[in-house]
Structure 1
């Protein structure tokens, strides 16, 4: 987000040129076999660079820039400028690659939404840096501040979705009959990872917010669990069709989520209305893990991966119960997190990644490649470690910058 009119005037023609290049670009699909989503060609070096720089900009730099913006750091603008430049470079690389060809796909379509949000954020950021605060500009400035904040906070979520779309598109997965189970795996897996991220934030900087709301963390957790259970209860079965075994299991899981969520909401308030801890969210996670560990699968590899996913999720629920009852003794988490408190969110990260990597097509691909479930799961656990590291690098960053006035604008 440039800080002067000159730099903003230089940026606009560059954006127009990028849009023109994108509009003129056309990925030919003449090499794609009939009925397939991708051609048999390998992914070339340009496309690998596209993947790398997009992960760097949207997966790392933009989330860091968002945190710096929340704490009003002077490093917010430089980080966002670098991330934006890298993102536009990656966008151009994505339109210049050779090798593998792709049929019309969700990744290409959603890219327009992502870039629109990014361009809006840049444009509003440039306007705000001009500090036009008199007359009409003064009256509308607060709305631009709000819009800039919404775009910045939405970017990590939008980026996550787009990166998932990219992986799905690169492999030609999640089409036709595979779409439904892909949606279930990626939405639920992302939800577990998101829950783990929320736990991390609460461990480090969220306790003050909880005190202001006069609610325990289990109140908010139970509310989300109840809402999610209602959604699952009515969406896991195609009404009007015959009930399949998986439909019954998924729907029953939705029922237990909203039933337990309502109980958790009630137990999160003491006799005098004070916030109170409870074990219901942890118990729900444990029971969900138990159900998923026994989920029937077609491939032996898939059966093992789903079993370990269930065990990992059960471990997260059990760790949460132990944390609330014994580590914290039913009290709010205060001060530096205890070592044991890192276990539950990390296991949520791991279970989320395992579930996202356990779709039918992925399991068939890994099985064909001759990779055993132990090697596959160790790689997934490694990715979860890195994700947990990135989360904890960003949350303490916000906290430390807030305390250090020399870094605050």
Structure 2
């Protein structure tokens, strides 16, 4: 049974969120200090707005992703972390509307707020419903749908959060308006794609080998499929057909062409003659060639040229590292260890370089380069800062995956001197295959089943055995 205290707490949170949604629609923007033709006023960002930024970063960027992983591993802390994040998100929301100082014209960041808060309200409402354990009659069928929807929205939240964070940064600086919109979209979309690809590679490297094996496809099949699709889009969107070819149109379009051409080859080479999956080097080659093209991308400012050059070199390094990993480290295998839980240290290089490439590309828009150039900021200092941010995100993703992995794999310390499990030992202790769940699952069965105590620790949850690895 769920205590009445526990029931009223989320209900109160839901009531607050409903009030937030109404305020979001009625909020007025003060623009009396904004000069005509500008997106922001010349006032500095005040302390209240800085607190808003910090609180929302903590809530949406740290607590909610952590709570999502805690939900996947069926931890009792999932509800508490998500509740804390929700409270902070509401507080941060009101601070964002009560700040003084810099004023902003109507912008995408404020227009996207109702969507973000609606998702949060929906997630909280579904969580409350699941915690009430209503299973009789029609609720039995509704419950299954809500479990799936709760998982889908939970995994969608980090993506929505990333987009809103980017909108916030763009709005704070008054970027990406007028003639700058197109190149701004290209930089932020492509940069986010590189970071997203790096995160996916990190997940597959650390906890996703079983999922890849279960699909019956090689990882390069999925990589090449995305590359081919993205190339088709770029081929027909980088140039305004019917108009003159200007600036870098031809280079952008040719990059799209090589992406879909190489992607088709990668798809074809991803299977052996007998239909079994096979590794190939095509995605790594595409990344390397893209880096080469971007390193020689002509720019108007010397600072922009140098940043784009470093971005290109970083992307080339990511492609080269991927080729070396598959051909020489793995030798066409899926993983080094038999159970896929102990990657080679070299395998971390490609994902990190993709993180760094993404931040470098997002940080190289025309308006950013103009501001930094006027402030006499050297490309070396700027690149080091962007690499530092990449390291922090890489650390956070690895921490979340570690939290997931240590609660889905068990290490029996009492068996340290026992024979090796499947001939493999980790850190001197036998690593038993006792339940690595599919990294794509997000069903909070542990939080919503009647046969489980709400306060039971993670360690008491039953774990499904893994099939033996080849």
Interval containing the TM-score (normalised by the shorter chain): over 0.9
Correspondent of 2:69 among 60, 67, 89: 67
Residue 143 (structure 1) shift: 1.2
Q: Which runs of 5+ in 2 are unaligned?
A: 411-457, 463-470
2:79 — aligned with what? 77
Give secondary structure in 2 for the equivalent of 1:342.
helix
Correspondent of 1:339 among 327, 341, 345: 345
In the alignment, is residue 372 of structure 1 matched against residue 378 of structure 2? yes
Residue 376 (structure 1) shift: 0.4
Query: Per-residue displacement from partner, 1:182-239 (whole Å, max 9, x unpaired)?
Result: 0000000000000100110011111000110111111111111111111111111111
CA distance in 1, matches of 2:100, 2:265: 56
Tell me the TM-score normalised to structure 1 length. 0.97
2:405 — aligned with what? 399
User: In 2, are the aligned partners of 1:282 and 1:317 still within 8 Å (CA)?
Assistant: yes
Instruction: Please show how residues 99-118 of structure 1 align to structure 2 within 5 Å.
Output: 99-118=101-120
Q: CA RMSD in A?
A: 1.6
2:204 — aligned with what? 202
In the alignment, is residue 143 of structure 1 matched against residue 196 of structure 2? no
Q: Which runs of 5+ in 1 are unaligned?
A: none
User: In 1, are the aligned partners of 2:14 and 2:124 still within 8 Å (CA)?
Assistant: no
Give secondary structure in 2 for the equivalent of 1:135.
coil
2:299 — aligned with what? 297
User: In 1, are the aligned partners of 2:49 and 2:96 still within 8 Å (CA)?
Assistant: yes
1:273 — aligned with what? 275
CA distance in 1, matches of 2:122, 2:15: 15
User: In 2, are the aligned partners of 1:73 and 1:407 still within 8 Å (CA)?
Assistant: no
User: In 1, are the aligned partners of 2:18 and 2:121 still within 8 Å (CA)?
Assistant: no
User: In 2, are the aligned partners of 1:320 and 1:344 still within 8 Å (CA)?
Assistant: yes
CA distance in 2, matches of 1:43, 1:14: 27
User: In 1, are the aligned partners of 2:64 and 2:85 still within 8 Å (CA)?
Assistant: yes
Instruction: Please show how residues 10-409 of structure 1 align to structure 2 within 5 Å.
Output: 10-333=12-335, 334-403=340-409, 405-406=458-459, 408=461
Distance 1:407 1:158, change over 3 A: farther
Q: Which has the higher helix share?
A: 1
Residue 69 (structure 1) shift: 1.5
CA distance in 2, matches of 1:116, 1:19: 7
Distance 1:278 1:290, change over 3 A: same
CA distance in 2, matches of 1:171, 1:258: 35
CA distance in 2, matches of 1:102, 1:194: 30
CA distance in 2, matches of 1:7, 1:84: 12
Distance 1:23 1:188, change over 3 A: closer
Give secondary structure in 2 for the equivalent of 1:370.
coil
Residue 18 (structure 1) shift: 3.0
Give secondary structure in 1 for the equivalent of 2:248.
helix
CA distance in 1, matches of 2:272, 2:306: 42
CA distance in 2, matches of 1:361, 1:123: 41
Give secondary structure in 1 for the equivalent of 2:243.
coil
Give secondary structure in 1 for the equivalent of 2:98.
coil
Distance 1:406 1:173, change over 3 A: same
Query: Per-residue displacement from partner, 1:346-373 (whole Å, max 9, x unpaired)?
Result: 1100010000000000000110111000
Give the number of the structure whose alpha-carbon radius of gyration is greater: 2
Residue 124 (structure 1) shift: 0.7
User: In 1, are the aligned partners of 2:197 and 2:354 still within 8 Å (CA)?
Assistant: yes
User: In 2, are the aligned partners of 1:74 and 1:408 still within 8 Å (CA)?
Assistant: no
Residue 71 (structure 1) shift: 2.3
Distance 1:292 1:97, change over 3 A: same
Further displaced range: 157-166 or 271-280: 271-280
Further displaced range: 4-13 or 273-282: 4-13
Residue 23 (structure 1) shift: 4.6
CA distance in 1, matches of 2:326, 2:240: 38
Residue 144 (structure 1) shift: 1.0
Residue 147 (structure 1) shift: 1.4
